[in-house]
């Protein structure tokens, strides 16, 4: 038996074919997403659903020409964003992505939706979360006239594959929309109503890994959040492992049977009886990319091109003491709680203001931001973390960051076995749905 996993990422779309017996990844595919739509507003981050679907269906045709025995399809993708749907289950809006900034714009008494929710209702929800976006549209009269439901882009793919006219959304994605009571597994409908939203627009929720229909006779599993899918596809000893993902953003994730939240820590639904405790750094690997861009701009001003700046940065680190004297706070894109916050560089002196010290300081800042979040989880739950599982190209391709992260957490670090972790996790979700695998077997829970 083979399972297919599909991951609709923000910048790329990936798929994997996995054999279910030994859970071996047989082949992976990655295509650029390239669906961002041009806009005059710098805070607006939207993508074209038609472009995304065309890319996915073209990829599916390519895969099914080679693999005739795929027996289940699992789905995942970028969390938080929403698409509006009409009565026929077709989109009537762009995809408003998780990066969209309208939730931080003033709408009422100079306050943003995020500020209204926190100060008036004690609800922490962030710009880019689907229901924050929806409340902004409600306040501004921007909800599409024909809209009757909302869902994520991977739920929409599931609908188009199976012919569903209404979405069935897993609780991992439901919580990702915001205004969701994770402990009770339901939306805060009354708060939505008080802010002018019609709650009939909300999708149906399930907390099971279940089949939503078939495509060409093949069962399609309900889509799950990419954080949950990445954990499922990376971690095989969940009771003692910490997942650290470093891509465009950064993230730390720990599996827990207890519901727990703290500053910067969300409890996200996973399967019945288990939560994924997650903390996210908005800049993450982008902080290192910003530094590379800084060096590249200077080199280009000198008339020097065609240089592997990341390679040069690595060589500089090879001769730098692995204990930085520059203290860099890498909140270059703010934080979930304080989007206006920015980074800092401290302790600059005439003896340490060097490129290599700055490079090291940025890497240590990236690690420190996630370690602080882990510290809150560890303090609250006494989690017995013994090993870091590292995923994402931001850390997979940077041995210096691997060393720094391992030292900061005082844990052994190993790379996730498979590079397309989320797509592979979606395939495993499909296997669990099909009954060929249990959740405990997948993550090593005894």
Per-residue DSSP letters for 215-266?
Answer: ETTEEEEPPEEHHHHHHHHH-S-TTTEEEEEESSSEEEEEEESS---BTTEE
Tokens 């229909």 belong to: 213
How many other β-carbons are positioned within 10 Å of the β-carbon of residue 71? 16
The span from the CA of 11 to the CA of 157, in Å, is 17
Q: What's the average model confidence in pLDDT over 220-234?
A: 95
pTM over 0.85: yes
Residue 335 in this model has a pLDDT that exceeds 90: no
Q: Any bridge partners for residue 412, and if so which?
A: 387
Q: What's the average model confidence in pLDDT over 278-295?
A: 90
| pLDDT for the residue 332 | 84
For 78-132, list the strands marked E by DSSP: 83-85, 95-96, 106-108, 111-112
Q: What's the average model confidence in pLDDT over 47-62?
A: 96
The span from the CA of 439 to the CA of 429, in Å, is 8
Per-state percent for the chain, helix, strand, coil, to nearest 5: 35, 25, 40
Residue 381: which pLDDT band, with cuts at 50, 70 and 90?
Answer: confident
Residue 308 in this model has a pLDDT that exceeds 70: yes
The span from the CA of 58 to the CA of 73, in Å, is 16
Q: What's the average model confidence in pLDDT over 167-188?
A: 95
| pLDDT for the residue 423 | 95
């Amino acid at each position: 038996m083979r399972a297919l996993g599909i991951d609709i990422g923000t910048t790329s779309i990936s798929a994997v074919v996995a054999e279910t017996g030994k859970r071996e990844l047989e082949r992976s595919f990655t295509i650029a997403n390239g669906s961002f739509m041009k806009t005059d507003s710098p805070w607006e981050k939207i993508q074209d659903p038609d472009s995304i679907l065309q890319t996915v269906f073209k990829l599916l045709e390519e895969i099914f020409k080679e693999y005739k025995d795929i027996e289940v399809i699992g789905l995942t993708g970028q969390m938080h964003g929403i698409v509006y749907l009409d009565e026929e289950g077709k989109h009537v809006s762009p995809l408003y992505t998780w990066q969209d900034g309208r939730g931080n714009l003033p709408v009422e008494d100079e306050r943003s939706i995020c500020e209204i929710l926190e100060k008036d209702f004690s609800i922490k929800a962030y710009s880019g979360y689907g229901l924050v976006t929806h409340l902004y549209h409600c306040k501004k009269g921007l909800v599409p006239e024909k809209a009757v439901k909302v869902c994520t882009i991977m739920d929409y793919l599931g609908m188009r594959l199976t012919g569903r006219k209404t979405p069935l959304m897993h609780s991992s994605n439901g919580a990702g929309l915001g205004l969701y009571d994770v402990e009770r597994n339901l939306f805060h409908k009354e708060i939505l109503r008080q802010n002018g939203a019609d709650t009939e627009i909300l999708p149906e929720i399930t907390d099971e890994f279940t089949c939503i229909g078939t495509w060409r006779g093949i069962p399609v599993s309900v889509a799950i959040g990419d954080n949950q899918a990445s954990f499922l596809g990376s971690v095989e000893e969940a009771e003692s492992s910490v997942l650290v993902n470093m891509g465009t953003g950064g993230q730390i994730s720990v599996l827990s049977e207890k519901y727990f939240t703290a500053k910067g820590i969300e409890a996200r639904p996973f399967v019945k009886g288990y939560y994924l405790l997650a903390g996210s750094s908005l800049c993450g690997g982008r902080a290192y990319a910003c530094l590379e861009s800084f060096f590249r701009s200077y080199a280009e001003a000198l008339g020097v091109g065609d240089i592997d700046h990341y390679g040069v940065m690595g060589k500089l680190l090879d001769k730098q003491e692995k204990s930085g004297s520059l203290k860099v706070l890498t909140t270059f894109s703010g934080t979930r709680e304080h989007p206006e916050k920015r980074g800092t560089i401290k302790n600059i002196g005439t003896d340490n203001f060097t490129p290599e010290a700055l490079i090291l300081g940025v890497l240590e800042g990236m690690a420190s931001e996630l370690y602080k979040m882990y510290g809150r989880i560890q303090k609250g739950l006494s989690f017995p973390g013994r090993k870091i599982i590292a995923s994402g190209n931001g850390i997979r391709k940077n041995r210096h960051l691997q060393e720094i992260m391992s030292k900061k957490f005082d844990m052994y670090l190993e790379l996730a076995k498979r590079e397309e972790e989320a797509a592979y996790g979606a395939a495993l979700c499909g296997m669990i749905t099909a009954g060929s695998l249990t959740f405990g077997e997948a993550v090593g829970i005894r």
